[in-house]
Structures are given as C-alpha cells and as structure tokens.
A and B are shown apart, each in its own frame.
Chain A
Amino acid sequence: MENTQKKVKIKTKSVNLFYGTSHALGDINADIYENSITAVIGPSGCGKSTFLRLFNRMNDLIPGVTINGQVLLNYENVYAKDAYVVELRKKVGMVFQKPNIFPMSIRENIIIGPRHHGIKKKADLDIIVERSLKQAALWDEVKDNLNKPGLGLSAGEQQRLCIARALAIEPEVILFDESCSALDPESTMRIEDLMTELAKKYTIIIVTHNMEQAARVSHMSAFFMIDDEKIGRLVEYRPTGDMFSSPKDKRTEDYITGRYG
C-alpha cells in the first residue's frame, strides 16, 4: 500500500493514559503518516477523543490526568520535560465537534491565533486572513463581510471558519474531533473535500462515528475498543481499504459492519 511508504509524522510509544484511577488508554503504539488522513473509529467511550487530544496535549487541561509513554512529533517527544506546550499547539491545530468560534468578527476569529504569536502588522494579518479563508474554501462567501460577527454564519460555514482559524497559525497537523457530526450532509461533503485537499499539505487525523466518512476520506484507519477491564485499546490499525474489505479482528468486523451492540 502506498501510504506505508510515507514518512512517519507522529509516533506513539506505549502510551497509557489515566483519568484519575480510570485507565482510558492502554499501551497504544501507532505511527501516523505525513500528508495522509488517519481516521479514528470505535464505539462511544473507547478513547478516541482522548487519543486525539494526546497530540496537542489538550488532556493536560483536565485535572488528575496521568500520561506515560511517549508521543513523538517529528521524532521529538511532546511530553518531554522541556517541551513547551504552546509551541506544540502551534504545530498541531484542532477543529472541535461543534463550531466554537469566538463572539467576534470573522476577521478577528482568524487573526486571534497569529496575534498571540506576535504577528501585529495589519498587512501581514490581511494576507493570513485571505490565505486561510481560501484554504478553508470560505473566502468567496465571506470576503465582503469580514467584519461581520462570525456567529452570523451558518453552522457549516462556522465550522469552515474554525478550520480557517486553525489554518491561520500554519500548523503541520490538524485534528478533527467529530467535526461533521453536527452538520448537514452538504456541509459534511464540503468539509470532506476540504480534508482531502488539505491532506496534500498537512497531516490530518479525524475522529468519526460515520463509517462511510472514514471509508471515503481516510487513508489509514485506527479502530479502538475497550477491553474486558474497560481499558481503551487500539485493536486494529491498517490502511483503510484493507481494513474495510478484510478486517483481521472479529471485533473490527462486527463494528464496521454495524453488528456492534
């Protein structure tokens, strides 16, 4: 398979994550490839979001979380003692489940990130606004309304604005946590097209409950499930085509064919 030839962008080495005493992720080893879309699938509560949030250290915000093992981005451990989480999040952007733009204008939503990182000149920011909106396929719709409130956009547009906002900080990796689940089919299609386009430049990881979506857009698929001790495990991780046509594990097969109870 072509994708296995690609460069490894992120590597997790024996990652275990605990929320307090509850063991949410058990011994996760996975390689995420550059310029590809990796889909994370599995039943509710199996640790998909937790897995995704490892990569931008979003789990750190939750009190009582313990993480051991290593997560390497560009072969550097993002959980190393001297790693600076702000630098990491500049490289790893995130789009959430619900469009969560700030109560500000469209333009301000996009420049808030670059501004935090010290870009102050209006001309520079204008370039970033146009570039990110074009990349998010939103420019034509909003170019005359940049100073209007972002909350005035439709849900699908808001979600693309979130993508533009994430792109504005020029990340290397973009995480999507069920980012289409609150959208209508047409908006979902547009975002899927967008992901495919973005994968040429970025490394993309998506969490989705939609098997068709995983099959349509992703190159690699990771199936998670909790074991008998309620620990989230990576059951099967392979190129999407292979996994969907001939799943190796019985549990994977049951899940993707919809037989999971």
Chain B
Amino acid sequence: MRLNARKKEYIAKAMIWGAAMSVMIVLVAIILYILIRGLPVLSFSFLTQNPYNMGRSGGIASTIVGTIYITVVALLIAVPFGIGTAFYLAEYTRDSIITRIIRFSAESLAGIPSIIYGLFGYIFFVIYLGMGWSILAGGLTLAFMILPTIIRTSEEAIRAVPQIYRESSFSLGATKWQTIIKTVFPSAIQGIVNGVILSVGRCIAETAAVIFTAGSVLSMPTSIFDSTRTMAVHFFILASEGVSMQNAFGTAALLIILIFIINVGVNSLVNRFISKNQKR
C-alpha cells in the first residue's frame, strides 16, 4: 500500500515535470528559431532606415516609431482610467449593482477577440468620429482592449495591500485620499506595473485591431492623426503576402527583444524603487 502511494507520487511528479519541460522546450524552440533567422537581419541601418519598395528593402524605422506612438497613446488613455476604476472598485464602493456592472463589463471585454475591437474601432473612431486610419484611432482602440487587464490586475494589487496598512494610516489622522495616495498606492505599485507591462506587450504585438484602425501606411508618421504601420502589422504583411521573409523575421526578432527588454527593464526599475525602502 505504501509502496503504491510512493509509486503514484513518483509518477505524478514525473508527469508534472514532463509537462513543464515540454512547454519550455516548445517555447524556447520558437524563440530560438525566430532569433536565429531574424538576428542576422538586425543591423544599424535596418533599425534606422525607412522601408523601401513595400518593405522588400530598407529598414523598419517608421514601423518602430509607429509602434511606440500607438502604444503610448493607448497607455496614456488606459492607464489613468484603468487605475482610477480599480481604486474606485477596491476602495470606494462596497459590492453594489454598479460595481457588478463594471466588473461584468470588464470581464466581458477581456474575453472579446481583438479583431472585434478592430471592427468597433473602425466603425466608431475611423468612420463615425471621422478620425480616419490614424495613430489616434489605433491608440484609442488598443486602450479599450487593454483596459480590462489594467483594471483587473490593478484591483487585485490594491486588494492585496494588507488592511492593517490602511488602519495604521487612518489611525494617524490621514484622510481616505491621503491613505490611498501615500500608503495603498506605493504598496500596490508592483502589481499595477505588472499589469501595465502585460498590456504594453499586447499593444506591441497586436495586429488585427491595429490594421483596422491605424491602417498600414509605411511612411514615417509626423502626428497622431497620421496613419501608420506597426511592427507587428509590418511583420504580418511581409510574411503573409510573401514580400520578404528575411525582413519579416528581422522584425519579429526585434519584437521579441523589445518585449523582453520592457519586462526586465521596468521590473528592475520598480524593484529598485521599492527595495530602497522595503529591503530588510
């Protein structure tokens, strides 16, 4: 009987380990494949030159700028509204009809395929509001897409702040607002930032919603009212229309590196900010 239990334990362990290893191997294989094919393409001129001949030659400078533009617009809108909503849900209301409606909407929004956002953005921003294919329309659409993520991760981070911090703050005569700004927010910042990084990744990697709303113009954008082509869209068009597999992989490699840098970079920044005080 005991041996049996031990055997089971052993098999379970092996299966779990096997599952984890398989996932890791597949992930590493994908990333390696793209890097091996893409890294040789990356060069200074590839990063700094605009694409020529539909992307067959030249670099991808304008798509890098377009990606940054759109992501920044999306964040400028989604971060303040998302964090604000999260604080409202976590700190200012008890469970009510309103909070349930907000949560239900956010959860439903989170489950919608991005191409639906694209369609909505096209109909509403591009056509109805007359923005045309533009960075603004694309950024607004992405903002709607990432809002649920930011709300949910921020709310979780805020709720994870120990109640005793709030009580201590109140016991010192702090107002609710002071408690939130000076005590709750600093303790929740790590979780909030994690949600934002996740969203940045999704903005950078998004294609469907962006093609519909920001278009795919290859020239360097000069304002948020210009149409643009993001790196992900560029990759999609290069690869799917067989324009240049080489440049497609170069773009993909840069995307992966970029997302990696953002993850590591922002996390270490936040850690430094926190550890200044929290380290024991």
Contacts and interface: CB of A to CB of B under 8 A. Distances in A.
Interface of A: 56, 58, 61, 63, 86-87, 89-90, 93-94, 96, 98, 100-105, 108, 112-113, 115-117, 149, 151-152, 162, 165-166, 169
Nearest to A105: B277
A97 B165 CA distance: 13
Nearest to A95: B171
Interface of B: 94, 164-175, 178, 182-183, 186-187, 274, 277-280
A112 B173 contact: no
A90 B173 contact: yes
Contacts of A108: 277
Contacts of A149: 277-280
A87 B173 contact: yes
B167 A61 contact: yes
A116 B174 contact: yes
B167 A116 contact: no
A112 B182 contact: yes
B278 A165 contact: no
A66 to B, nearest CB: 16
Contacts of B277: 103-105, 108, 149
A116 B175 contact: yes
Given A98-B164, A100-B164, A102-B165, A152 B171 contact: no
A58 B171 contact: yes
Determine which residue in B183, B274, B277, B278 has the highest number of CB atoms from chain A within 10 A of its CB, and name it: B277
Contacts of A63: 94
Contacts of B171: 56, 58, 89, 93-94, 96, 166
Nearest to A149: B277
Determine which residue in A90, A93, A103, A152 has the highest number of CB atoms from chain B within 10 A of its CB, and name it: A103
B172 A112 contact: yes
Given A96-B167, A112-B182, A103 B187 contact: yes
Contacts of A116: 172-175, 178, 182
A60 to B, nearest CB: 9
Given A116-B182, A149-B277, A149-B280, A102 B168 contact: yes
Given A104-B277, A105-B277, A149-B278, A89 B170 contact: yes
Contacts of B178: 116
Contacts of A98: 164
B172 A103 contact: no
A108 B100 CA distance: 38
B177 to A, nearest CB: 10
Nearest to B162: A100
Contacts of A115: 182
B173 A86 contact: yes
Nearest to A94: B171
Contacts of A86: 173-175
What 5 A-B pairs come out closest when comparing CB atoms? A113-B172, A90-B173, A89-B173, A94-B171, A103-B278
Contacts of A152: 279-280
Contacts of A93: 171-172
Contacts of B183: 102, 112
Given A102-B183, A103-B187, A149-B277, A113 B174 contact: yes
A68 B250 CA distance: 72
Nearest to A113: B172
B96 to A, nearest CB: 12
A244 B18 CA distance: 67
Nearest to A108: B277
A232 B94 CA distance: 28
Contacts of A94: 171
A87 B178 CA distance: 14
A98 B163 CA distance: 13
A58 B164 CA distance: 11
Given A87-B173, A113-B174, 10 more contacts: A58-B167, A89-B173, A96-B164, A100-B164, A101-B168, A112-B183, A113-B173, A117-B173, A149-B277, A166-B172
B278 A100 contact: no
Contacts of A166: 171-172
B172 A151 contact: no
Contacts of B279: 149, 151-152
A169 B173 contact: yes
Contacts of B170: 58, 61, 89
